[in-house]
């Protein structure tokens, strides 16, 4: 019988509680291009290729000084093949808010091309430096092999444009020319360099 009275009371209490919380996440969607170099293990030579990159991911609140998230990264190497990987991203709050900042990604790639001559399942680390307006420079390397097969030895560099850092995430230095009335995650109120 007590349950009959307790349930409506608990429901009324929960419904009347203030709803002030905001739980937006950091988001990334970048595309770009550059160059890459991959070492062929059997011939011990390096092959250079034009690279196209793409990144899609989400992370914790952009208001935090450090943001942790996950992402999917694809890299197309013209004349060689395409890599697809998942990674964990650690980024500065400034990077997440579309201002100045850096991000470090670490994860594994699926490399279906090259018959293992360029590595099977390499580990990848990518350092990305971000600026206002969504512009980024990404430098990455592929090493070792997760499955114990042929170890990869390669790297790439790319100029990227993050469309979400340019639009919904953007705040900071770029707002002098193009204000963002409602950035995702709220507005950073303290003055900082964004790092």
Is 101 in a helix, a strand, or coil? Answer: strand
Domains and CATH numbers, the chain: 24-171 (2.40.160)
> 5-39 pLDDT, tens per residue?
555 555 555 555 555 555 589 999 999 999 999 98
How is the chain split among helix, strand and coil, in percent rounded to 5?
15, 50, 35
Sign of CA dihedral 187, 189, 193, 195: negative
41-96 pLDDT, tens digit each: 877 788 899 999 999 999 999 999 999 999 999 999 999 999 999 999 999 999 99
Instruction: Write out the two tokens for 37.
Output: 């170099």
In a 10 Å sphere around its CB, with 0-12 CB exposed, 13-18 middle and 19+ buried, how is residue 9 labelled?
Answer: exposed
pLDDT for 182: 76
Rounded percentage of the chain residues whose pLDDT exceeds 70: 85
pLDDT of residue 115: 82
Written as six digits, the tokens of 80 are 């060689």
pLDDT band at 131 (very low <50, low <70, confident <90, very high): very high
CB 125 within 8 A of CB 104: yes
Res 30: pLDDT: 97
Cα–Cα distance, 31 to 9 (Å, whole number): 52
Higher-pLDDT residue of 190 and 120 is 120
Detail the DSSP E strand segments found in the chain: 26-40, 45-59, 66-77, 81-92, 101-111, 123-130, 135-144, 152-162
Q: Which pLDDT score is estimated for 43?
A: 76
């Amino acid at each position: 019988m007590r349950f009959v009275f307790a349930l409506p009371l608990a429901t009324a209490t929960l419904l009347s509680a203030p709803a002030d919380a905001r739980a937006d996440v950091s988001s990334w969607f970048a595309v770009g291009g550059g160059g890459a170099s991959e070492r062929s293990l059997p011939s011990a030579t390096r092959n250079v290729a034009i690279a196209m990159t793409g990144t899609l991911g989400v992370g914790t609140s952009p208001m935090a000084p450090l943001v942790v998230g996950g992402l999917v990264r694809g890299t197309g190497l013209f004349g060689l093949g395409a890599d697809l990987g998942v990674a964990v991203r650690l980024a500065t709050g400034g990077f997440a808010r579309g201002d100045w900042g850096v991000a470090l990604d670490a994860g594994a790639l699926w490399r279906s091309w090259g018959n293992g001559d360029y590595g099977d399942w390499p580990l990848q680390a990518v350092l990305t430096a971000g600026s206002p307006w969504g512009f980024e420079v990404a430098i990455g390397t592929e090493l070792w092999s997760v499955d114990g097969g042929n170890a990869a030895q390669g790297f790439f560099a790319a100029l990227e444009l993050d469309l979400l850092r340019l639009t919904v995430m953007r705040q900071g230095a770029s707002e002098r020319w193009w204000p963002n009335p409602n950035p995702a995650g709220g507005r950073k109120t303290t003055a900082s360099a964004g790092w």
